[in-house]
Amino acid sequence: MEQKTLETKEIKTAPPQEPPAQAATARLVVSSSPHFLNTESVPKIMHSVVMALFPAVAASVYFFGWRALLLVIVCVAACLGTEYAFQRIRNKPIKIYDGSAIITGMLLAMTLPVGFPIFGAVLGSVFAIGVGKQLFGGLGYNIFNPALLGRAFLMATYPVLTTTWVWPRTMEKAVDAVTAATPLAMAKFEGKLDVPLMDMILGNTAGSLGETSAVAIILGGLYLRYKGYINWKLPLGYLGTIAAFSAVFWLANPAKYPSPLFHLFAGGAMLGAWFMVTDMVTSPVTSLGQWIFVIVAGILAVVIRLFGGLPEGVMYSILFMNAFVPLLNKHTRPKVFGAAGKQS
């Protein structure tokens, strides 16, 4: 350190975009914290999530035909359009390219049955982005997962259409577009628990686009984990709670209650665990808060599935816990080391 060209830079609050070329000219850069440079950005994360959803989309096209792709495209387009319209009206910077609306559209499409009408998909997308996200102030301010809110709205608006499923075209007995019950509905309303597990894991059952193929969704989830965008706690905590809690009932009466494996691979448990529980905006930030979030949500999902009026409880369990996230964040804040106790 022979030279003393010490360059003090003015304090900047947003250093991550600092060009590295600066460091080449100055020998020693002194700047205010944080010093850790991170190349991650919202669009980058969001586009990785879109990538992670591709296996699920591909699986849905394989099992349900090209109309599945059409639904995905319609939902994404409608979400982007709504986002653009809202940002335009509110005179906000147009940020539809950050990818968050694409994810909402894809996730919403994943929760719909393949025969769902196009106008309904558009309506759900407009509600998801408009009411679910933009009315709260846009990305980062929404309380509820927008895609799930859109699905909940559609479920209340078109209760018949959202629950009219068809057999996948890969099923031997399938006549074109014959309505069918999902494994969960069969278990609940007909007491049939004998759906082959392998069919549910691969996706060879009736259901919404993204709830049939567990493999494709786990693949996407693992990719997100590999990229470091989600932690293990949220998805595995949620799935683990579902498995453990349903095991209690299954062990008590295996003839009446479906097995834990059935619960894991049926319905939207996988999609919810990997893509909706892990939503960065609507899940708690503290470790304890995340545990409470996933455990209560998991128990709720099983309770609704087994004892509620609906065959599937994943959506409401996550939406319900979304409402508690601010509370969880507030009350599970870790103690600051060395800080004095509360003075009040």
Beta bridge partners of residue 8, listed in sequence order? 30
- Residue 260's H or E segment, with its range, is helix 260-265
Specify the stretch interacting with other proteins by CB under 8 A; choose among 91-99, 155-163, 310-318, 329-337: 155-163
Least distance from C-beta 137 to other proteins, angstroms? 14
Least distance from C-beta 156 to other proteins, angstroms? 4
For the chain, the distance separating the N- and C-terminal CA atoms, rounded to the nearest angstrom, is: 51
Beta strands in the chain (DSSP E): 6-8, 28-30, 165-166, 179-180
In this structure, are residues 162 and 112 in contact, taking their beta carbons and an 8 Å threshold? yes
**Of 143, 161, 222, 303, which lies in the binding site for other proteins, with binding defined by CB under 8 A?**
161
Least distance from C-beta 159 to other proteins, angstroms? 6
Specify the stretch interacting with other proteins by CB under 8 A; choose among 114-122, 251-259, 270-278, 324-332: 114-122
DSSP 101: H
**Of 159, 196, 254, 326, which lies in the binding site for other proteins, with binding defined by CB under 8 A?**
159
**Of 1, 156, 252, 255, which lies in the binding site for other proteins, with binding defined by CB under 8 A?**
156
303 makes contact with other proteins (CB under 8 A): no
Half-sphere exposure of 227 (CA within 13 A, CB side): 19
**Of 62, 158, 229, 291, which lies in the binding site for other proteins, with binding defined by CB under 8 A?**
158
Least distance from C-beta 122 to other proteins, angstroms? 12
Q: Kindly tell me the burial class for residue 330, based on how many C-beta atoms sit within 10 Å of its own C-beta (0-12, 13-18, 19 or more).
A: exposed
120 makes contact with other proteins (CB under 8 A): yes
At a CB cut-off of 8 Å and minimum separation 6, what does 109 contact?
A: 68, 71, 72, 74, 75, 76, 121, 209, 210
Least distance from C-beta 99 to other proteins, angstroms? 28
Could you identify the residue written with the tokens 């387009």? 77
By beta-carbon proximity to other proteins, the closer residue of 62 and 158 is: 158
By beta-carbon proximity to other proteins, the closer residue of 120 and 308 is: 120
> Per-residue contact track with other proteins, 270 to 299, x per CB under 8 A?
------------------------------
In this structure, are residues 143 and 282 in contact, taking their beta carbons and an 8 Å threshold? yes
> Per-residue contact track with other proteins, 179 to 208, x per CB under 8 A?
------------------------------
**Of 63, 153, 245, 316, which lies in the binding site for other proteins, with binding defined by CB under 8 A?**
153
Least distance from C-beta 140 to other proteins, angstroms? 21
Q: Kindly tell me the burial class for residue 294, based on how many C-beta atoms sit within 10 Å of its own C-beta (0-12, 13-18, 19 or more).
A: buried
- Residue 302's H or E segment, with its range, is helix 287-307
**Three-state SS for 301?**
helix
Least distance from C-beta 267 to other proteins, angstroms? 22
Size of residue set near other proteins by CB under 8 A = 10
Beta strands in 119-199 (DSSP E): 165-166, 179-180
**Under the rule (CB under 8 A), what is the footprint of other proteins?**
117, 119-120, 131, 153, 156-159, 161
